[in-house]
């Protein structure tokens, strides 16, 4: 993907400065951010190199906007009474995260906005959590590890394959779309993967995550080859240094995820039934000639009372469970 410019044109210099600082820090989809306090400046600069996206404040808009060379133009709507037509609008006064999510999702969905696939020079690390006995602590351990990696300075993507993640209830949010929507879009428009990712992902404690599937059967309908293709795109997108996966057999790319993982974390099996499940899993790996999965497996116990950490999902890394997981990651990283 060629580096595109995201241009912002507004007379509110405080807003311009704040939005530019936010975008420069987040670096959404690799856009280079440029700002202008007049439409005339934007027109002049776009003649040198067209913009990918132009955001124009409703209060600074004039008819010269049509002369700005940009793939897609959005009006930053203030009160909605300016009578501007012919352009997409986004509310200026909302969270910047939501504003950029709306803009990039619309950019991704517009067939006239073209790009080329991006492939990073190095692959992200793939850290997988899996429990054959479906231990409910698997998910909180995986999310805790993701937050710790983010605290360490890594750019982290967290993916949950759980059929019932409970995220909307735990986090008090509502998702308009989820991982399956992202998958189907990315497989058909690989050149716009990062734009769609920015449009759909959410963030918790510095960790980007794809909203988990509402209906697990949608996950189950995604073919193994499609999982392989999408995982490869994410690993080599250049957007992340670590991808943490909360894995289940719902994913038909199950074996591929295990094989591609740099580390696979298992919760310890204590009772006879769990031990039997783990033993069967180990035999299956050997039968499928995936002995390397067992070689990079790390088994650990959760501390007593780990369940209390879930009460503050956004601060798992600084909980007692976080202290434990940090030690485990540092020991095996």
pLDDT attached to residue 310: 84
Mean pLDDT for 245-253 is 94
In percent, the amount of the chain with pLDDT more than 90 equals 63
- Domain 5-109 and domain 125-332, same fold? Reply is yes
Mean pLDDT for 211-234 is 93
CB-count exposure of residue 15 (10 Å: 0-12, 13-18, 19+): middle
Per-residue pLDDT tens over the stretch 274-300: 999 999 999 999 999 999 999 999 999
pLDDT attached to residue 114: 67
For 5-109, which CATH class? Answer: alpha beta
pLDDT attached to residue 191: 81
Domain definitions of the chain by residue range: 5-109, 125-332
Distance, CA of 187 to CA of 230 (rounded, Å): 7
Cα of 69 vs its chain's centroid, Å: 30
Indicate the SS3 state at residue 35.
Answer: strand
pLDDT attached to residue 119: 56
pLDDT attached to residue 1: 46
Domain topology for 125-332: Rossmann fold (3.40.50)
Per-residue pLDDT tens over the stretch 132-189: 998 889 999 999 999 999 999 999 999 999 999 999 998 989 998 899 999 988 888 8
């Amino acid at each position: 993907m060629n580096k595109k410019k995201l241009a912002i044109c507004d007379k509110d210099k405080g807003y311009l400065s704040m939005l530019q600082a936010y975008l420069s820090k987040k670096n959404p989809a690799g856009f280079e951010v440029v700002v202008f306090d007049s439409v005339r400046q934007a027109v002049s600069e776009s003649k040198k190199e067209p913009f990918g996206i132009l955001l124009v404040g409703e209060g600074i808009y004039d008819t010269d906007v049509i002369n700005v060379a940009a793939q897609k133009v959005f009006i930053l709507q203030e009160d909605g009474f300016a009578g501007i037509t012919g352009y997409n609008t986004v509310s200026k006064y909302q969270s910047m995260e939501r504003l950029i999510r709306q803009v990039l999702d619309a950019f991704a969905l517009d067939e006239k906005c073209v790009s080329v696939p991006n492939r990073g020079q190095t692959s992200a690390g793939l850290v997988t959590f899996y429990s054959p006995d479906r231990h409910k602590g698997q998910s909180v351990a995986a999310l805790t590890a993701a937050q710790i990696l983010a605290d360490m300075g890594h750019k982290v993507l967290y993916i949950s394959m759980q059929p019932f993640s409970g995220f909307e209830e735990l986090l008090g949010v509502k998702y308009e779309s989820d991982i399956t929507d992202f998958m189907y879009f990315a497989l058909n428009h690989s050149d716009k993967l990062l734009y769609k990712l920015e449009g759909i992902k959410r963030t918790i404690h510095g960790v980007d995550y794809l909203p988990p599937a509402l209906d697990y059967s949608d996950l189950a309908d995604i073919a193994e080859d499609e999982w392989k293709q999408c995982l490869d795109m994410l690993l080599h997108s250049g957007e992340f240094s670590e991808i943490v996966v909360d894995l289940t057999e719902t994913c038909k790319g199950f074996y591929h995820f295990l094989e591609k993982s740099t580390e696979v974390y298992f919760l310890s099996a204590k009772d006879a039934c769990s031990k039997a499940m783990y033993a069967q899993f180990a035999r299956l790996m050997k039968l499928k000639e995936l002995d390397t999965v067992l070689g990079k497996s790390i088994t650990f116990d959760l501390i007593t009372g780990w369940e209390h950490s879930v009460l503050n999902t956004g601060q798992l890394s600084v909980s007692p469970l976080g202290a434990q997981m940090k030690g485990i990651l540092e020991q095996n990283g």
